[in-house]
Chains A and B, each alone.
Chain A
Amino acid sequence: MSRITAQFNALKNNHKKALIPFITAGDPILDLTVELMHLLVASGADMIELGIPFSDPMADGPVIQRGSERALRNGTNTDDVFNIVKEFRVENESTPVILMSYLNPIEAIGYTTFVEKAAAAGVDGLIIVDLPPEESATLSAVLRLHSIDQIFLISPTTSGERLDRICAVASGFLYYVSLKGVTGSSKLDVEAVGDKLNEIRRKTILPLGVGFGIKNPQIVEAVGRVSDAVVVGSALVERIAQNIGNHEKLKSEITIFTRSLRAALDRIG
């Protein structure tokens, strides 16, 4: 059983919802990322979504774009990301780590090499923003060989046959994009999200995570009530951006914020 599945099972047994924070590897500096990951876990994260920075993050809003730019400016590359996960695993063997990437950094290294390195580092899942299932067969096969879950996105516009197809190939969990837009948008409609999740549940037994536009404890709680997991990205990255000059303050802000999200999720149940 993968770490991701094991974690969801454990949470379900305890009647809890998963909190999945997102940060970009190397933002604001490479040396801080492992520490931030431990801090997120200590503050209540159940899994970590770690972004591989990319020069052209088309699906992301300005906050995560700038995080990606900061990481690239200080020289963060894909091998650094694998090393970060490896180092994180020295102290933490149980918390799932999911890499979020655009396809080109994976193509550049080569599917097999990328997946082998990710598996060796202790990566559990991969989200590729711009790789729909129609183009994914080759990479999916390599991921299965190395027991890395491939987490697909489902959007408000996904319906019918495509929804079936995605449910058939996904593993770990399904990531529902809460709105039509980029990360960090602010037009999330919780009721519509709930309706769509019900539709998806009729097609799959996989846990359902929700991300995009989840920026405070109130939304976390509301979305947590209808889903199995919430992903919080831009709101965290914004707190990193505001404190790039003061790492102690950055860490304490991240801790306080993540705890508040945990507390909100734990009010459900």
Chain B
Amino acid sequence: MSKVNKKSSIPEIESYQSMPDQHGHFGAYGGRFVSETLMEPLEELEQAYKKYAQDPAFIAAFEQCLKYYVGRPSPLYHAERWSERLGGAQIYLKREDLNHTGAHKINNTVGQGLLAKLMGKRRVIAETGAGQHGVATATVAARYGMECVVYMGAEDIQRQAINVFRMKLLGATVVAVEAGSKTLKDALNEAMRDWVTNIDDTFYIIGTVAGPHPYPMMVRDFNAVVGREARQQCQEQTGRLPDSLVACVGGGSNAIGLFHPFLDEKEVSLYGVEAAGDGLNTNRHAAPLNAGIPGVLHGNRTYLMEDKYGQIIETHSISAGLDYPGVGPEHAWLKDTGRANYVSVKDSEALQAFHDLTRIEGIMPALESSHALAYTAKIAPKMKKEAIIIANLSGRGDKDIHTVAAHEGITC
């Protein structure tokens, strides 16, 4: 819903919450760039989602699951010791790590799982990087009695062995993807191939706000419970809205979930934190919004890490969940409009934040979430003591202890 401002001819944005348009576009981004065979299934999915998203019975079932199965609402926790140590703003952590299965990912899989069941699909598939989305999908599949296949890059299987075991115990088949860089993007390619082959009985549960329309919208909507709760909790605990929101961005589902309900509160500044890996100047990073260009991958137009011929280049992050060369199209649009700021932190900074939160607050964050915490630690000291930052603690760090131990030479 933008109207043209006659003076400057720059579209004036009335509401940042009005995207996507009916074709799934977020400004120049998003859309539906898939092979012909997937066009009709995506249309069918869009229609089903539109129908059920308005259906009081569906909404009630979804909310029931979030409350009694996921354990929502997740607390908004005032990290007083950490705030004091940093000496500036008051930091509140949105505790998505306390959800069932340990991350925000379950919000979305519960929603898509319900949808799959109502659409009569007996089999679900998923791609996963860190394994959190794979675990969340396997969990929902177990609960609904559906067959589950999870595609995971062979390199990520090494990095995230604990989550692989969890998925297997939940009854899922985990398929190691040996193609390309053997990480999340290749798992996504392989899941798409499975879907195109088995579209009649299979529902593809995409784990992030990327992919062809309607996924970026649908996954955002299912995760927006994070921002809605945070907004209400912040009001209750502090009597006002926060000054800043900080969340890590790989594909960007936890960030958009937190940001979306605040998009039209223009006094709330938004910070999406990408993985700078070894540094943005090293080519070993995963920060398409900071260092990429727009292109088309995995069904949508967005910022990508690619070479001058449009070949996707390998990314690096210590965090498997951020190790992805693209990003959700809504983030691309929020970047271009200037509504959100996209920044980055290095592996070393994320590790420092991982240790700091563990030692100061007794909370072990996921390496993904540690990126958001590291940026929070950068801006908090520059802010007044009355200022409020909400950082999304999107997942817990148990799955990462082997990575941290190996990186730092810690032994038993």
Which residues does A use to contact B, with CB under 8 Å?
A: 54-59, 61-62, 65, 69, 72, 77-79, 102-109, 129-132, 134-135, 152-159, 162, 166, 177, 180-182, 185
Contact = CB atoms under 8 A, between A and B. Distances in A.
Contacts of A104: 295-297, 304, 306, 310, 312
Contacts of B306: 104, 108
A24 B192 CA distance: 21
B35 A180 contact: no
B196 A55 contact: no
B84 interface: no
Contacts of A77: 309
A21 B40 CA distance: 28
B33 A131 contact: yes
Given A77-B309, A105-B311, A180 B37 contact: yes
Interface in B291-305: 294-299, 304
A108 B23 CA distance: 23
13 contacts: A55-B311, A55-B312, A56-B189, A58-B189, A58-B298, A61-B193, A102-B296, A135-B32, A155-B37, A157-B41, A157-B199, A159-B40, A162-B40
Contacts of A58: 34-35, 189, 192-193, 298
Nearest to A60: B193
Contacts of B185: 56
Given A78-B309, A180-B199, A182-B196, A108 B295 contact: yes
A207 B326 CA distance: 38
Given A59-B196, A181-B196, A103 B309 contact: no
Interface residues of B, number: 38
A108 B296 CA distance: 9
A109 B309 contact: yes
A95 B223 CA distance: 53
Contacts of B408: none
B310 A109 contact: yes
A130 B309 contact: no
Contacts of B200: 180
Contacts of B298: 56, 58
A108 B308 contact: yes
B311 to A, nearest CB: 4
B39 interface: yes
Nearest to A129: B35
Nearest to A175: B36
B296 A158 contact: no
Given A56-B185, A162-B39, A185-B197, A134 B23 contact: yes
Contacts of B37: 155-157, 177, 180-181
Interface in B4-63: 23, 31-37, 39-41
A108 B309 CA distance: 6
Contacts of B307: 108
B32 A132 contact: yes
Given A56-B180, A56-B189, A72 B34 contact: no
B179 interface: yes
A97 to B, nearest CB: 19
B32 A134 contact: yes
Nearest to B25: A135
